[in-house]
Amino acid sequence: MAGSIVYFDLETQRTANDVGGWSNKHQMGMSIGVTYNAGQGVYNIYSEQMVNQLIAELRSASLVIGFNHVSFDYGVLGGYYAFDLAMELRSLDLMVDLEKELGHRPKLEDVAVATLGVGKTAEGLQAIRWWQQGKLAEIAEYCAYDVKVTKCVHEYGAQHGHVKYKDRNGREQQLAVNWTL
């Protein structure tokens, strides 16, 4: 549905070390991308062969919401798309928004556990191992869960005007946010 909010995350085939550093995100390759289209109320799972459909969904969104997606995920998609998605799309990057206030990059895990009481089910390096083992279903499940966690963190922040996070000393803190639904 055109004009919907779309929550987004992707996993990669390779690490930054595999491609010569973080400046080569476009060479990392997407293993699986997942969106939650709020207008349709559905999750969409995209394989690398479906990357053009993923990009089309992102381009049709009124707002793309993710966690470190503007720099990282759009950078990975740069290997498949000639234009700058960060410039082309209207995005709310929850990590970037929180980083502006905190002065450091919080982890989704630290925000989700403090705010929602639930954490992630795995981490990115595990998803790369699954890719190497051909376990696409595991990657899709993990990535879809991260999209759901991101969506729930955003909704909580929009409804309550704040999110919680674990600081570097493991203490729970609260941070005001100005997010809308």
Quote the CA–CA distance of 86 and 15 in Å, as a whole number.
21
Write down the pLDDT at residue 123: 74
Helix or strand run (H / E) with residue 132: helix 124-132
Quote the CA–CA distance of 115 and 82 in Å, as a whole number.
37
- Phi, psi values for residue 3, rounded to 5°: 85, 5
Write down the pLDDT at residue 1: 43
Place of tokens 């990115």: 124
Please tell me the pTM assigned to this model. 0.94
Quote the CA–CA distance of 135 and 142 in Å, as a whole number.
11
The CATH H-level superfamily of 5-176 is Ribonuclease H-like superfamily/Ribonuclease H (3.30.420.10)
Place of tokens 């919401």: 65
- Phi, psi values for residue 129, rounded to 5°: -60, -40
pLDDT in tens, the chain (181 residues): 457 999 999 999 999 999 999 999 999 999 999 999 999 999 999 999 999 999 999 999 999 999 999 999 999 999 999 999 999 999 999 999 999 999 999 999 999 999 999 877 777 788 999 999 999 999 999 999 999 999 999 999 999 999 999 888 889 999 999 998 8
DSSP 152-169: HHHHHHHHHSEEEEE-TT
**Residue partners of 32: CB distance under 8 A and separation at least 6:** 10, 11, 45, 46, 47, 127, 136, 139, 140, 143
